[in-house]
Amino acid sequence: MMAAETKIEKKSSSVWSLFSSVKLTIALLIVLAVASIVGTLVPQREEAVGFARNLSPAMLEFFRSLNLFDMYHAFWFRLLIGLLALNLLVCSIDRFPHTWKRFRARPSPDRKKPFEGLPESQTALVQGNLEDAAQRVSRLLGNRYKRLQTKEDKDGRYFSADKGRYAYFGVYVVHLSVLIIIIGALIGSFFGFEGYANILEGDAVSSVALRKGGAPMDLGFTVRCDDFSVEFYKNGAPKEYRSDVTFLVDGKEAEKAKLLVNHPATFRGVTFYQASYGKAPGEKVSLDITRTASKPQVTKMDVKKGEWAPLPGEEGKFQVSEVDSNLMGVMGPAAMISIQPKQGQETRFWIFQDREKLEKRFPGMMTQNPKLNASAFKPYTFSLSNLESKYYTGLQVNRDPGVSVVWLGCFLMVAGFFVAFFTSHRRIWVRLAEEKGALRLSVAGVASKNPVGLERELERLTSDLAHLSGEGEK
Amino acid sequence: MASSNILSYIIFVYFGAFMLYLMMMVMRKEVFGRIATVVAGLGLLAHSLAIVLRWVESYKLDMGHAPFSNLYESLVFFAWTIMFLYLLVEFRTRNKTLGAFATPLAFLAMAYASFSPNISSGIQPLIPALKSNWLIAHVVTCFFGYAAFGLSFGLSVMYLIKRREAVGAGNGFMKLIPQPLVLDDLNYQMVVIGFLLLTLGIITGSVWAHSAWGSYWTWDPKETWSLITWLVYASVLHSRLVRGWRGKKIAVLAMAGFTCVLFTYFGVNYLSGLHSYATF
């Protein structure tokens, strides 16, 4: 029984010592760095598709099994971060008692060791009687330092004091801040969401698509884009774009907001960011329909997408079945005409607003391909004179309840750095002893870091103390 | 534009300062060092004026933004931070030898900005995402951090040279370089300053990204590489403060760290991501 218990204890203590070692910290930092490098070289998420296509099946399987296409969200990457957090926690717990002891320690005033090998600049002979000098030293040290202690014996007077002992905790604050940031990120990934919505001017949505995929997320309220406007620089680059939106709850207007890039708005814990914009075709389509009988006759018509209308010559009916503000990314505004004659097959073809330009750019294409031939249904020729277009606003829609926790962590990290790197615990000892009818003043000190700074401080303190006692003489 | 003209002359001023610092070391004559400091100081003054002028010019062109918005402007500012920080260190330490290792970094940054055919020196309008008060805070903290890491790199090189010279038969060429112990300590200070500023740079960037794109961290390549750099310097600090590493190991690690800085700055442009406006 006893043997088994000590074995367990030993085992757990070896796990403890593994996680309390800085070797592990450095190893984890470097492994995380290397893994992150891999993640920047292998295309991630949406961009991975093209890359994955060029991989052999075995490689693809390998990449997929390690989740390398979404590496930063992979289990093993999160595990590494978790191990680092655990390492941090164990290290801090392991070292804290020692730090606490140093924080609490009050060294005795009459220590001799700090005075060994004292430089010339930290000692002086001063006039006056011991009692007065001791009082002045006490007062000055009490003003500049904390936890002043005094002691006296037949050889003289002894003082000790310190300041800045909170410097020991700086490193714990920094490490705690890392844990807080990780916790903030976890809160965000468990209780938040990242989505997006493209809303046409005048339209409203009450749910958004999620970045990670899956079913759309219901917002519990409605957001309507009342107006969208964009301004351009002379060179055509967008200068500023903004959306005026209204949030509606149960059909009633609850709040209005202006969204600009870098100026999001929050409603009921959900934040809306102006992310992008684009043009989408509206409903209204203007057509010129030419009927060539004995002589060509042009009819101008405004139709709505999806609504059937009779042909001018009554041979049947037609509709605009599809519209695209830039077909295939190069063809410009386009509409698909579907014609249903009284007898026979339905005919479908695309017509283009920029027909003349396209004919120059792609000679022959319009007439050879029946799907692009505007005169495919005799005796008519259709042409697109205008396609109504509307702006849509692209909104990033997020909820992240962990953000304030992350900011708290960031603030603590910077504050902790200042304490850890730029403050130090300085302990000083002062000794006053009678020597040849005068008083020998000696000043010594120890600092947890920045020995040069301490030396400067001790020199100044020595001269201040000597000056003080010297003046007392007159 | 007047500002780009001034900036193209400054390349030669910094090259001159570099040569003077070298001559000081080779001939072991302090007088060259003194002239070098004056030349470098005047260069920095003109450099500062040119940056302010460029800022004013952008308002005249009706764009009105701080000159930190493309690769040309960032390289110019990077060179400025290196020279500023270097002269500060020279003033504090009263040793001029680091000048021979710091001025070439500033000179190279300026020369790259002006001579590379891929870098346009024109003032460009600011895209909406860059219109934020965080721009200045983010760029200033990041580049001062980079500059501190640059000086740390110079000190690491000096350390390795000095150490080799101390072992072999010294020809006196490196006599003016401070003792290895001093170099090591100064190197550590630079890493601390750089690390603090890089941390602030990452935080200000996160706050900004959060207000512009809705997410404080998206693992975009530039963000990730800045984290990699942060991790490398964090391990430098831990190995020194806790494991007690000194000297050569720290020098080599600090050089690896600066390689990461350079990749964060330039290499990432070959990968796609949100920071793409800094590419050209």
Taking the C-alpha atoms of residue A407 and residue A181, their distance in angstroms, rounded to an integer, is 8
CB-CB neighbors (< 8 A) of B207 in chain A: 407
Quick: pLDDT tens for B59-112.
Answer: 888 777 888 888 899 999 999 999 999 999 999 988 888 999 999 999 999 999
A413: closest CA of chain B, how far (Å): 9
Mean pLDDT of all residues in A365-392: 83
Question: Tell me, what's the pLDDT at A1?
Answer: 40
Residue of B nearest to A272 (CA): B214
Q: Is the pLDDT of residue A74 over 90?
A: no
Quick: pLDDT tens for B258-269.
Answer: 999 999 998 777
The minimal CB distance from B203 to the residues A47, A238, A410 is found for: A410
Q: Do A421 and B196 touch (CB under 8 A)?
A: yes
Mean pLDDT of all residues in A152-172: 89
Q: Is the pLDDT of residue A473 over 50?
A: no
Rg (CA), chain B: 19
Quick: pLDDT tens for A426-460.
Answer: 999 998 888 877 888 888 888 888 777 888 888 88
Taking the C-alpha atoms of residue B80 and residue B88, their distance in angstroms, rounded to an integer, is 12
Q: Among candidates B139, B157, B12, B13, which has minimal Cα distance to B78?
A: B139
The minimal CB distance from A273 to the residues B213, B224, B228 is found for: B213
Q: Do A417 and B231 touch (CB under 8 A)?
A: no
Mean pLDDT of all residues in B199-227: 91
CB-CB neighbors (< 8 A) of B213 in chain A: 273, 275, 396
DSSP label of A86: H
Using DSSP, how many helices (H) and how many strands (E) does chain A show?
A: 11, 18
The minimal CB distance from B214 to the residues A44, A47, A273 is found for: A273
Taking the C-alpha atoms of residue B195 and residue B197, their distance in angstroms, rounded to an integer, is 5
Contact status, residue A240 vs residue B128, Cβ threshold 8 Å:
yes
DSSP string for residues in chain B: -HHHHHHHHHHHHHHHHHHHHHHHHHHT-HHHHHHHHHHHHHHHHHHHHHHHHHHHHHHHTT----S-SSHHHHHHHHHHHHHHHHHHHHHHH---TTHHHHHHHHHHHHHHHHH-TT---S--PPPGGG-STHHHHHHHHHHHHHHHHHHHHHHHHHHHHHHHHHHS---STTTTSPPHHHHHHHHHHHHHHHHHHHHHHHHHHHHHHHHHHS-S----HHHHHHHHHHHHHHHHHHHHHTS---THHHHHHHHHHHHHHHHHHTGGGGS-SGGGGG--
The minimal CB distance from A413 to the residues B199, B210, B221 is found for: B199
Q: Percent of chain B beyond pLDDT 90? A: 52
Question: Tell me, what's the pLDDT at A419?
Answer: 93
Quick: pLDDT tens for A124-135.
Answer: 888 878 888 888
CB-CB neighbors (< 8 A) of A41 in chain B: 271
Residue of B nearest to A400 (CA): B215
The minimal CB distance from A238 to the residues B128, B216, B239 is found for: B128
Question: Tell me, what's the pLDDT at B20?
Answer: 94
Mutation test of the interface with chain B: which of A95, A262, A271, choosing the one with the most B Cβ atoms within 10 A? A262
Quick: pLDDT tens for A137-153.
Answer: 888 888 889 999 888 88
Residue of B nearest to A265 (CA): B211
Mutation test of the interface with chain B: which of A23, A25, A26, A91, choosing the one with the most B Cβ atoms within 10 A? A26
Interchain contact B137–A (C-beta under 8 A): no
CA B231 to chain centre: 19
Q: Among candidates A285, A312, A309, which has minimal Cα distance to A297?
A: A312
CB-CB neighbors (< 8 A) of A180 in chain B: none
DSSP string for residues in A48-79: HHHHHHTS-HHHHHHHHHTTGGGGGGSHHHHH
Question: Tell me, what's the pLDDT at B262?
Answer: 93
CB-CB neighbors (< 8 A) of A40 in chain B: 221, 224-225, 268, 271
Mean pLDDT of all residues in B24-41: 90
Taking the C-alpha atoms of residue A222 and residue A318, their distance in angstroms, rounded to an integer, is 36
The minimal CB distance from A29 to the residues B207, B234, B272 is found for: B234
Residue of A nearest to B237 (CA): A26
Q: Is the pLDDT of residue B244 over 50?
A: yes
Quick: pLDDT tens for B122-140.
Answer: 888 888 888 888 889 999 9
CB-CB neighbors (< 8 A) of A194 in chain B: 214-215
Taking the C-alpha atoms of residue A189 and residue A399, their distance in angstroms, rounded to an integer, is 10
C-alpha dist (Å) from residue A27 to A33, A38, A362, B192, B239: 10, 17, 60, 20, 11
Query: Two tokens at A351?
Result: 């017509």
A103: closest CA of chain B, how far (Å): 19
Quick: pLDDT tens for A27-46.
Answer: 888 898 888 888 888 877 77
Quick: pLDDT tens for A393-418.
Answer: 999 999 999 999 999 999 999 999 99
The minimal CB distance from A398 to the residues B125, B196, B215 is found for: B215
Q: Is the pLDDT of residue B142 over 90?
A: yes
How sure is the predictor about B171, in pLDDT bands with cuts at 50, 70 and 90?
A: low
B144 vs A52: which has the higher pLDDT: B144
Helix (H, G, I), strand (E, B) or coil at A408: helix
Quick: pLDDT tens for A7-18.
Answer: 555 556 788 888
Write down the ipTM of this complex. Answer: 0.90
Mean pLDDT of all residues in B267-280: 58
Taking the C-alpha atoms of residue B112 and residue B104, their distance in angstroms, rounded to an integer, is 12
How sure is the predictor about A474, in pLDDT bands with cuts at 50, 70 and 90?
A: very low
DSSP string for residues in A183-246: HHHHHHHHH-EEEEEEEETT-EEEEEEETT-SSPEEEEEEEEEEEEEEEE-TTS-EEEEEEEEE
Contact map slice: B 204-263 vs A, CB within 8 A: 206-208, 210-217, 219, 221, 224-225, 227-228, 231-232, 234-235, 238-239, 242-243, 260
Q: Do B128 and A44 touch (CB under 8 A)?
A: no
Taking the C-alpha atoms of residue A57 and residue A332, their distance in angstroms, rounded to an integer, is 39
